[in-house]
Structure 1
Amino acid sequence: MKTPATVSSRLHPTPGNPLPEGIESGVLETRDGKMLRYAVCPPRGGRLRGTVLLAQGRNEAIEKYFETIDDLCALGFAVVTFDWRGQGGSQRLLGNPAKGHAVAIEDFAEDLVGVLDTVALKLFPPPVVILAHSMGGLVALAASNVVADRVERLVLTAPLVGLPMTRRGLRLRSGAARLFRLLGLGSASAQPALRKGRGWTFATSPLTSDPGRFKRNLEMAQAAPHLFVGAPTIAWFDTMARTMAEFEDSDVIADLSIPTLFLIAGSDRVVSSDASERLAWRMRCGHAVVIPFARHELLQEADRYRAPVIAAIDRFLTGLPPVVDREAIAAEVEAALADVAAE
């Protein structure tokens, strides 16, 4: 099993994926003892508009979002991001580090809240916005009531609130996963045919239609394969399926209070776009924008799809007031980073 001693803050740039200007990284320990790799990047120029806490999807890493971090910093936001437990540069959950595992959605919520309180709110002033992709979007929704007093808005790109199958099919698969998990098979792969690196061809990719970004991400995975995992386990699927089912409950939806923008990929084959549109419509605080013909990874997509996503994020956050000059916080951020590393 990956131990805390082996969790490194090191970032892994490649020639096609350079480090964002000013980025720094570290390792923090959550309240339940898991070690997470995180990174922070200050805004560039002008005034700080706020802080974006960037939460990835399943089987992603900080490095995959270097370009997006650059874009957000150029818009005047400080960015804080991290790797979920069990993936990226963070502590693994099983003896086999290639398995994408989960125990409970509350564990991922613990990661999100820990980074929010220990890093984001300590290093940068509010307002704070959570920008979350796919699995990260589901976790952000599940944790939204916990963080509602410190997070102004949520932006969810292609969130995992449903799968592209019938509700009956999802119920059957969810029930089977629950049974297998109760039989002690939770750490078995939910998709045995999937292996790390298999199926990574541009022609068959459901993730992006941009050949340059596809190549960049593939080169990144080849340069640092230890950051990535293979197929999800049965326990991971069971955890996500049960959480998705909760957001069919009207009472659960009624409790959601953070203004939320759903950015939906029109040609998503990984998650259900219909489920996202339906949830956004049922939320009193939800808004949905569909990017026609875009594939799942909106922030890794071709410019014709990605540019409207960045513009929508920028506009949705326009009402957040500037809070302080960047120059006024540079020394404080450096000192606070040292404090976080020492704790």
Structure 2
Amino acid sequence: MQTNHWYLSNEVQLTDLMARDIAPFWSQQVTQGSFVGDGNIRVNYACCIPQHAERSVLISSGRIESLLKYKEVIYELYRNGFAVFILDHRGQGLSGRMRKNAQQGYVDHFSQYVGDMCRFIDEVVIPKQCGELNLLCHSMGSAIGALTVLQRPELFNRVVFCSPMFGIRPALPDWLGRVLITVNNLYNRLVPGASGYFFGQRDYCPVAFGDNPLTASEIRYKLFRTEYSEHPEIQLGGVTAQWLAAASAAMWEVEQCASEIKVPVLAFCAEQDRVVDNQRQARVIAGMPHAEYVHIAGARHELLIESDSVREPVMRRIFDFFSAEL
């Protein structure tokens, strides 16, 4: 069923809405928990199920993100009758970290993210699922989501990819990327006092709104940064060479296997994205047999926390897509 009557929040009222409605909703309706993933890493999650829910949505978030950043999106999904499930990927958010410096973005292989996702689905989502399960992915979460679909194609009814990380910027030749990762690994092992980060990366450091490449919505950006200021345990800095190597392998696998993703897909491309490689993204989506690729003019990377003029049409398309009959 398609409708123009979806509930959506807006920038003008968002500050009041957060205090008046979303904060009590979060404390009263959202259940949080955790499980232990491979390697003895704690994985935190949240879920909420409205009365008479007919469909479910699993959110796969992007790099550095936490489920706490998704309060507005989760509230909207809940108000529109969707059961909502979200986990913090290992190494970020409220989940356990894998490096001595907890600020460093690290994973051995993206298969670890996928393993956590599948365990979450089997142990938490399926027992509470209402109707068909849809997958909503953002950025890095799209690579994780695509790999999960490839591993468990029977799980999902429909999939949305927002600014999918099927390529990253700057878009370097594969050989040059491998050289830089190898050199960085040697540098971090051999140079006393080396940070452990990939070249140019550092601990979490908030960027002023005027300099941010993520969103044109000042209020949503402020709320995002305030959440990370009030909960320093969810802060995450830059990436390590190992994360880049794992991401490169994951993106290559998604591109090579795109034709095997046969569920209906709706993918959004942010025109002004400075984080992911839109050219490679378009190539990957074109390889998916039942995918619609939507170009969002004027949008920056964070479509789910963008300004209303960009975000509202995207959210309506998502709600319509997840509610449509196959």
TM-score (norm 2): 0.86
| Contact 1:100-1:236 at 8 Å conserved across structures | yes
Q: CA separation in 2, counterparts of 1:187 and 1:106?
A: 26
1:125-144 alignment runs, 5 A limit: 125-144=130-149
Q: CA separation in 1, counterparts of 2:185 and 2:161?
A: 29
Q: Per the alignment, do residues 293 and 225 of structure 1 end up closer, same or farther by CA in structure 2, a change over 3 Å counting?
A: same
1:79-118 alignment runs, 5 A limit: 79-118=84-123
Note the C-alpha offset of 1:187.
8.7
Q: CA separation in 1, counterparts of 2:60 and 2:285?
A: 19
1:44-193 alignment runs, 5 A limit: 47-168=52-173, 170-178=174-182, 180-181=184-185, 185=189, 188-193=196-201
| Contact 1:31-1:114 at 8 Å conserved across structures | no
Which residue of 314, 322, 335 maps to 2:319? 314
Which residue of the partner structure matches residue 327 of structure 1?
Answer: none
Whichever residue aligns with residue 139 of structure 1, its letter is: I
Per mean C-alpha deviation after superposition, the further-off stretch among 287-296 and 145-154 is: 145-154
| Contact 2:56-2:82 at 8 Å conserved across structures | yes
**What are the superposed Cα offsets for residues 70-96 of structure 1, whole Å, 9 maximum, x if unpaired?**
111112100011111111111111111
| Contact 1:56-1:132 at 8 Å conserved across structures | yes
Q: CA separation in 2, counterparts of 1:125 and 1:225?
A: 34
Q: CA separation in 2, counterparts of 1:243 and 1:178?
A: 18
| Contact 2:184-2:199 at 8 Å conserved across structures | no
Cα RMSD, aligned residues only: 2.3
| Contact 1:174-1:237 at 8 Å conserved across structures | no
Per mean C-alpha deviation after superposition, the further-off stretch among 214-223 and 173-182 is: 173-182
Q: CA separation in 2, counterparts of 1:287 and 1:141?
A: 15
Q: CA separation in 1, counterparts of 2:178 and 2:261?
A: 24
Q: Per the alignment, do residues 19 and 241 of structure 1 end up closer, same or farther by CA in structure 2, a change over 3 Å counting?
A: farther
Fraction of identical pairs, as percent: 26
Q: CA separation in 2, counterparts of 1:282 and 1:59?
A: 28
Q: CA separation in 2, counterparts of 1:215 and 1:304?
A: 18
Which residue of 31, 34, 38 maps to 1:24? 31
Q: CA separation in 2, counterparts of 1:150 and 1:287?
A: 20
Aligned residues: 302
Note the C-alpha offset of 1:221.
1.0
Note the C-alpha offset of 1:178.
4.4
Per mean C-alpha deviation after superposition, the further-off stretch among 106-115 and 144-153 is: 144-153
Whichever residue aligns with residue 23 of structure 2, its letter is: P
Per mean C-alpha deviation after superposition, the further-off stretch among 180-189 and 124-133 is: 180-189
**What are the superposed Cα offsets for residues 25-68 of structure 1, whole Å, 9 maximum, x if unpaired?**
1111225532111101113x6x4231111111010111100000
Q: Per the alignment, do residues 187 and 245 of structure 1 end up closer, same or farther by CA in structure 2, a change over 3 Å counting?
A: farther
Unaligned stretches of 5+ residues in structure 2? 1-17
Q: Per the alignment, do residues 26 and 180 of structure 1 end up closer, same or farther by CA in structure 2, a change over 3 Å counting?
A: same
Whichever residue aligns with residue 99 of structure 1, its letter is: Q
Check if 1:261 corresponds to 2:266. yes
Whichever residue aligns with residue 188 of structure 1, its letter is: G
Which residue of 199, 208, 213 maps to 1:206? 213
What SS is found at the alignment partner of 1:96? coil
| Contact 1:187-1:234 at 8 Å conserved across structures | no
Which residue of the partner structure matches residue 341 of structure 1?
Answer: none
Which residue of the partner structure matches residue 224 of structure 1?
Answer: 231
Provide runs of 4+ in structure 1 moved above 6 Å.
none
Note the C-alpha offset of 1:108.
0.6
**What are the superposed Cα offsets for residues 268-322 of structure 1, whole Å, 9 maximum, x if unpaired?**
001122222222122112211121111101101111111111111111112259x
Which residue of the partner structure matches residue 13 of structure 2?
Answer: none
Per mean C-alpha deviation after superposition, the further-off stretch among 253-262 and 207-216 is: 253-262
Whichever residue aligns with residue 181 of structure 2, its letter is: A
Q: CA separation in 2, counterparts of 1:201 and 1:184?
A: 30
Q: Per the alignment, do residues 146 and 19 of structure 1 end up closer, same or farther by CA in structure 2, a change over 3 Å counting?
A: farther
Unaligned stretches of 5+ residues in structure 1? 1-13, 322-343
Check if 1:273 corresponds to 2:273. no
Note the C-alpha offset of 1:181.
4.2
